[in-house]
Structure 1
């Protein structure tokens, strides 16, 4: 993606869970890795839903449409099982969960299209604007270009901007370094293995949630051995594909999390792998598979800040 690229792309790989009721925020606060109790109308949250062992079962971008309505944007292939699991914990909370995917349209905005849609010239990731019936959530940039998620009820006119193929948006997601969990990655990672603590996906000061003790131990006892890295390669990659260091043909050192074809050719991918392997020769699929070259992350890790 060049500095001049801008436009709007359709998004079909994400779905929408609606959480509605006076306890919507407090319910999510007790289930997810981020603080929803203090969520206002001007911000969104990156968050994960974990197993009791701290493994990610889904990831979300969550925000309020009103004081009693929160939308969670997640990978469509995880929506149904996640909705079922979350609903099991509602109990006496005044919160109703439903699949609202068919009620909303999602688009990705890149470059000048963000300002054209009504976004401010400078916005931080996870800032949010209400634009009539639509919401605009600012995301991490890609290759220096601003990005935002636009979501509105079906039938709402989309922002006027040059059309981009969905592939351009998928590439920008990888380039941003912010991973969205999908079905092949179910329960493979604690949040820090995808750098979530460094990009606003974990709040270490909030109250209890499933898997919290594991996440805290990984953070504060130095037990984390994996991180997410950006890599380039000439071959097509898919989520769940194993990554090997050249010296060890038997034991994989990592897993492809998200991948997309780059506009200038080749593939870009996010790989969660052992920190010790980051400087080694890496290959996809096997120790003799396509070579991977590690690229700089577009943000600083928390330990480096």
Structure 2
């Protein structure tokens, strides 16, 4: 099945392939959000474990799918070779840092008064969706820049590697959709409204993926920077948002083991298939 998907995507335009792959990650977000039609609540231990899993996948993907290939394709030796990755990584973190300070949002498991960004009277639901949307921007970029590298004809970028990254991000998007829809349902929102906002949080991924793919296609030399940029953005999200969200109750050990599990899954996928 994996080989068939790779073969199909190799036969179409890489930018279109990036769109298809990121639509897959959005579909898994929507699938997770759709569980709100079956359940009204969710065990907090399970939620924290799933969020930990999300963090583990993102950290593993940042290295094996983004930083390592970015360093490998950079010219030169020593500090010269690692410089594009170092610069891109820092810029990616600062990009999300800037959005975090400006975009009004509320992390999962946080109280309304702990909302971040510009102060606004927006409802808790909107702030939750914006928080998950912030998570998804670097994920979409990551998928897009890998497919853009394929379009640019760089040997270090492969369809298989891009598909593996999309698979990993899709897997961890499942609990993200659930993490938005379930709190909304508990607060009294209708099942459809809860689902709608849960899936809406990932709609930014296809947009970011296409932007990343197009940018790299037209400006091939930026690929090492772009890969590291996506990695820096993802790591910032994990440390500043995902991990704190899992450490606010008594299930911190479950969240930590979830993180380890997510890291192992993404590392195994990338090494075995990518």
| TM-score, normalization by structure 1 | 0.25
> Which structure carries more relative contact order (alpha carbon 8 Å, separation 6+)?
2
Normalized per residue, the structure richer in helix is 2
| TM-score, normalization by structure 2 | 0.27
Larger Rg: 1
